Amino acid sequence: MTYLWNNGEAIELPIGKAVCVGRNYVAHAAELGNEVPTEPLLFLKPASSIVNAEGEVALDHRLGEHHYEAELMLLIGKPLNKGNIADYKSCIAGLGVGLDLTLRDEQAKLKAKGHPWERAKAYDKSCLVSRFVPLAESDLTHSEFSLSINNELRQSGDTNLMIFKIEQLLSEIVRYFSLQPGDIVLTGTPEGVGKLNIQDTLSVSLNGETLANCTIA
């Protein structure tokens, strides 16, 4: 696959890992009965999980119910680590909207046993990515994004409502592992998550601009 700008041009970056942030909106933590974290909750999805959210997206429904979680997404364009975190804005190539897909029943079983979540979160095609738009100065402090399914608004989020803001998230991430060009960061989902069904049509938008449309197969 290839990352794309919203004008259709290809972004010449390798496909990297996805760094995801859990429970970064109070209302979402509440809807799943989770405690609000006191520090960012981080997990990873591999490159094999990443797929463009365009056209038909075929999921493996034998794995169980796939649940959607729409999130503001950062595309890393230059190496970002502890040494240059103060200049983090220059390392962000663009913004998009990603879908962190989750096998919710599997996740519940794993959590109950105190086991890692990878089987529920890091499976193939579990990270749907939109096209990207270049970063503007105000985008990280006030960006609004949304997910509609079958022309019905299901989720809407605003960076103002994040528990941990973008700079804090990136600072926490690079404490443990560097970000490389082509990596993406999913910054957490607002309330309204739910099940995906075959033939559902999905549309994601950022600041009123549609960035992706797809149908679940």
Per-residue pLDDT tens over the stretch 153-165 = 999 999 999 999 9
- Report yes or no on 111 lying in a domain: yes
Structure tokens given for 174: 């690079």
- Report yes or no on 33 lying in a domain: yes
Q: Which residues of 57-75 are buried (b: 16+ CB within 10 A; e: fewer)?
A: bebeeeeeebbbbbbbbbb
Average pLDDT rounded to a whole number, residues 200-210:
97
Q: List the domain range (segments joined by +) for residue 144.
A: 18-216
Average pLDDT rounded to a whole number, residues 162-170:
94
- Report yes or no on 109 lying in a domain: yes
What pLDDT is recorded for position 27? 63
Give the integer Cα–Cα distance in Å for 146 and 208: 9
Residue 128, strand partner residues: 51, 99
Which residues have a Cβ under 8 Å from the Cβ of 10 and sit 6 or more positions away? 2, 3, 4
Q: What is the CATH number of the domain that holds 176?
A: 3.90.850.10
Full-model pTM: 0.94
Per-residue pLDDT tens over the stretch 85-124 = 999 999 999 999 999 999 999 999 998 999 998 999 999 9
- Report yes or no on 26 lying in a domain: yes
For the chain, the domain total comes to: 1
What does the chain come to in residues?
Answer: 217
Per-residue pLDDT tens over the stretch 20-35 = 998 898 767 567 676 7
What value, to the nearest 5°, has the Cα angle with vertex 216 and ends 95 and 10? 35
- Report yes or no on 45 lying in a domain: yes
